[in-house]
Structure formats: C-alpha cells, structure tokens
Amino acid sequence: MLILLQTCYRSELADIVTMRRVRERDVVCLLLLTLLILYLLMWFWFGSLQPASSVFLNYEVDKMLGQERQGKVKESRSNLDVVTVAGLGQRRLCPLGSFRLSKMETCMPWLGCKEITNEVTIKLNIGSGTVKKVYKAVWRNHTVAYSRLKNTTYFEDFSEGIEMLKTLQHPSVLQFVGSCNTTLLTEFYKFGSANFFIKKVLKLYSYRKFDNVRTRFNMALSYLEAIHSLHNSPVGTRVMCDSNSVHKSLTQFLVTQDFKLVLSDLDATPEVNHEANLFIKCGSRRIVSDFVAPEQLWPFENETFDDSRMPSYDEKTDIWKIPGVVDYLLGKVNGSEVIRLHLFKVHQQCHNRDPRQRPTTKVLLEEYNRVKNMFFPEHIT
C-alpha cells in the first residue's frame, strides 16, 4: 500500500513539473510573439525595417535636435534675405560681404574699423594661443568673439585666417562678422573648442544626458562635412595642416548649440592643385607623430632632417587622420562600437599607405550618411 501511494505521489509530482515546464514554455513563446508583433508594427510605422541594434539605443536629444532643425527650415522659408544651404544644422548663409547672428532678423554688412571701435565692448578673455587672444565681447546686445593678434610675427598667418573665413562661407565654417587690422570679430559659441567640449562640457551634470551615440556621431559627421568643404572650397583644395594630433585637430573646431562642429582656425590651410602639380608640406620642421599620414614623416630614418629633401604631399593626409578623430569623437558610449563596426571597412581604406588608394571625402560622406540613415533616421518635412 505504501509503495502504491509513493508511486502515485511521484506520478502526480512529475505531472506538475511537466505542466510547469509547459507553462514556462508558453510564457516565453507569448513574450517572443509580443516582441515580434511590436517589431512589425514599428516596420509599418516607419516604412522600413531598422536594424535591431538601433531599436535598443536610447537618444534623449532626438526631440530637441529635430525641433531645432524644423524651426530653422521653416524660418528660412519666410525670410528671402538669406540663402538656405542644405546640410548639417541647416544654418542660413547671407550673401557674400554680410552676416547674420542667431537673433538677427536680416543680414548686415560685415563690420569695419569704425563699427568695431565704437560699438564693440570687450567683456573677458576666454582663450589664448600662439597667434591670438580671444575675448567674449558684445556688439548691439549680441555676444560675439573678439580676437586680437598676440604676436606680430604671425601677422601673415592671422591675415590669411581672416581672408579664408571671408571666402569660405559655409555651414561648416565659423561665421565671419568683421575685422580691423589686427582684430577679428566672429560668431560666438559658448561650448568652446571640440576638444574642450568632449573633455569638460559633456562631463558636466547638466550635459551628461546628451553624451550619447547620436550626439557623438553627429559631431563626427559634421567634422567630416568640414573636411569635405575644405577639399572642395571655392578657392581650391585646402588641407588642414595644423593637425598633428587628435587633440590639436579638435582645437581647430568649435561646437555649436546643436552639437555640430564648425571650422574656426583657417590660418594653416595651404592649397593643393593636382592639375598644376602643386603640392604641400605642413611646415618646414620634422614631424614626429603616430597620428599623421606616413607621407608626412621623414622617409630617411638614419639621416639628418633636411626640409629641401622632404617630399611634398596632398589632401589625402587629411583622409588618413579621419578614423583617428572620429574614433575619439565616438568615445565609449552605448552604441559606439556598433557605429565603429559599420565604418570599419571605409576607415580601413583611409589607412591605405598609398594615398591614391584612399577614398575621397565624397565617398566617406556617402558611407557616413548610409550609417546615419540606418541608425538615426530623420522624419523632418
């Protein structure tokens, strides 16, 4: 009798365990089915299936950036005095010889000595480099950046930077406001240089929420846009010479309100002209760096450096540096490794030791925009 009861108990216990397993399996199946339905609904809503990895990336800045871009597009249509340039941030450009700051309704002629002397008030020093000192200043209630030549030895470089700013009116280039002899007036950006923004600003409590893969990828894309604008400028193919390290490269850029990079220092951007067989050398001193392109290094290792024997090179030196800068901009935030994976092939091509085999900025932009459309689709009308 006891044996019979034990047998029955074991039989019932086995049935209970089996039922539990069946229920657990049913629950798992139900959850998977629910996720599949949600994924299909997203497909019907957005018009195409997005990679599964993009679904799980959380971007708190999306709404803000979208609203800003929409506002700029709508506003530009209502003001016929400005030229709208399609591109990052949709920054509106004025006709050559004029400027328009963020709170101005219409474009105004560039400021000269009279306006700068009588209408600009310097507030405080915000930076200093080898060539110039930079101050925060005010012109007619508008905050501007006021730069003053620091050392007359660099007057030629300073003047070259001013002329380049005047010529290269582009969304990727700092807006020129005016100049007078050894002073320069430009648009003011409170975040400062890209290097400072990455190191300091994104670590502040109030900006940590923006430290995500979308913000960082947009910075990388705007950096590439800036290099593309240099290589295709109205004054020929220009090369960023003042860029022997990642950090030095990023000090040449400022960060806008919507976290885009704009070129701010153009005093060392010599011209390359392949048709005229015109090539460049970045300075007359030996470059020692593991960041620059191989052709920028002294090729005769056991011989004393002689600039007259140093071979010249072209804009493909900028291409070599792009993966290093972008890798730094992407950082180690959630999702950055996914972006690196999708850019790996084209970045590998950038490091071809033969400069002729490296891609152009146009090819790189196509690939970056493919990644952007894959992971960060925008629906702005």
CATH code of 194-375, in short, is 1.10.510.10
Beta-carbon count within 10 A of 352 CB: 15
Q: How confident is the model at residue 91 (pLDDT cuts 50, 70, 90)?
A: low
Is the pLDDT at 165 greater than 90? The verdict is yes
CATH code of 92-187, in short, is 3.30.200.20
So what's the pLDDT on residue 103? 86
So what's the pLDDT on residue 378? 72
DSSP string, 216-232: HHHHHHHHHHHHHHHHT
Pick from 294, 199, 304: nearest CA to 250: 199
So what's the pLDDT on residue 377? 85
Q: Does residue 270 contact residue 235 with C-beta atoms inside 8 Å? A: no
| pLDDT tens, residue by residue, 57-69 | 433 444 444 443 3
Give the whole-angstrom CA distance, residue 133 versus residue 154.
12
Is the pLDDT at 257 greater than 50? The verdict is yes
Beta-carbon count within 10 A of 127 CB: 15
| pLDDT tens, residue by residue, 319-339 | 999 999 999 999 999 999 999
Q: How confident is the model at residue 169 (pLDDT cuts 50, 70, 90)?
A: confident
Q: How confident is the model over 41-67, as a mean pLDDT?
A: 42
CA angle 57, 62, 66 (to 5 degrees): 150
Per-domain residue ranges for the chain? 2-49, 92-187, 194-375
| pLDDT tens, residue by residue, 191-212 | 999 999 999 999 999 999 999 9
Greater pLDDT, 297 or 38:
297
pTM, to two decimals = 0.76
Pick from 31, 32, 166: nearest CA to 95: 166
| Sheet strands (E) in the chain | 83-84, 92-93, 98-99, 108-109, 120-128, 132-139, 142-149, 176-180, 183-187, 237-238, 253-255, 261-263, 271-272
41-48 LR contacts (CB < 8 Å, sep 24+): 46/377, 46/379
So what's the pLDDT on residue 84? 34
Among 7-11, 192-196, 239-243, whose mean pLDDT is lowest? 7-11
